[in-house]
Amino acid sequence: MDLTPREFSQIYLMPKESVQHAGQELVELPQAQDVPVRFDWNDKGAVTPVYDQGQCGSCWAFSATEAIESQWFLAGHSLVSLSPQQIVDCDKGRGDLGCNGGDTPTAYEYVMAQGGMDTMTSYPYTGEDDNCAFKTASVAATIKSWTYITQNKNETEMQVKLLANGPLSICVDAASWQFYYGGVISDNTLCGNSLDHCVLITGYDDAYVDWIGETVQIWKIRNSWGADWGESGYVYVERGYDLCGVADEVTIPLIN
């Protein structure tokens, strides 16, 4: 919190132009039929522990990695921590720049072209740009494609597809998150729509009671700034208003 906004942005966020909105057709995905009041994929064992990207603008690689981890598990495999460092080091030629930022769609494209992802154990995270050390023998998960979840910023559609298909990768405006320590972000004057950070929606709550006793609809969003940040590594954002740009770039990798 003692960083200036510029220092915070340079250390933890990405340049605004990193998110490119790549042109990809929307794939028809299953829709949930029954929508409970609250849901979290953590409760289904489909989410790995919160990571810490350190002083490296690699959130885009973490968001893509976390989404792939969950989809791989939901496809019937063991939950395994994959290597965002592989994407940071090896994803070249698609406009992605390692610790200087990137985008989740191009990260998926890299994983598809490379033939999969190594485990975190075989390719540990260093938080720095380094030479590519991808090992084909250590591939633990693969994807076949990816898709946007919504093209019209429809958060109801996001909700039903989250339920039916798994956690959603999103990119947001996180400039105001420097001072977040808990509770619900519900003020649209605090969050803009200049996307500079990528994260993962794991759940929602339609009846969350905030600190002043009001009931609000929220997204539960996993960050990559360590488990001691925010709500044990998560941030709660009010749903239905595209706060922080949560509905502007929503993607999911496809295993089959």
Nearest-angstrom CA–CA distance, 192 and 197? 12
Q: Determine which one of 56, 90, 99, 223 is catalytic.
A: 223
Number of domains in the chain: 1
30 belongs to a structural domain = no
Q: Annotated catalytic, 132?
A: no
| CA-to-CA separations, 153 to 30, 52, 126, 199, 251, in angstroms, rounded | 18, 28, 35, 17, 12
pLDDT of residue 5: 47
pTM recorded for the entire structure: 0.92
Residue 95's CATH number: 3.90.70.10
The answer to whether position 236 is within a domain reads yes
> Residue 97: which domain range?
36-254
Residue 69 has pLDDT above 50, yes or no: yes
Q: Per the residue annotation, which of 56, 59, 171, 198 is the catalytic one?
A: 59
Residue 130 phi, psi dihedral angles, 5° rounding: -145, 175
Q: Catalytic site residue 223?
A: yes
pLDDT higher than threshold 90 for residue 243: yes
Of 50-54, 73-77, 148-152, least confident by mean pLDDT is 148-152
Our answer to whether residue 193 is catalytic in this structure is no
Would you say residue 150 lies in a domain? yes
Q: Which one is catalytic: 99, 197, 198, 244? A: 197
Phi, psi of 4 (to 5 degrees): -70, 160
Write the pLDDT tens digit of every residue in 102-134.
999 999 999 999 999 999 999 999 999 999 999
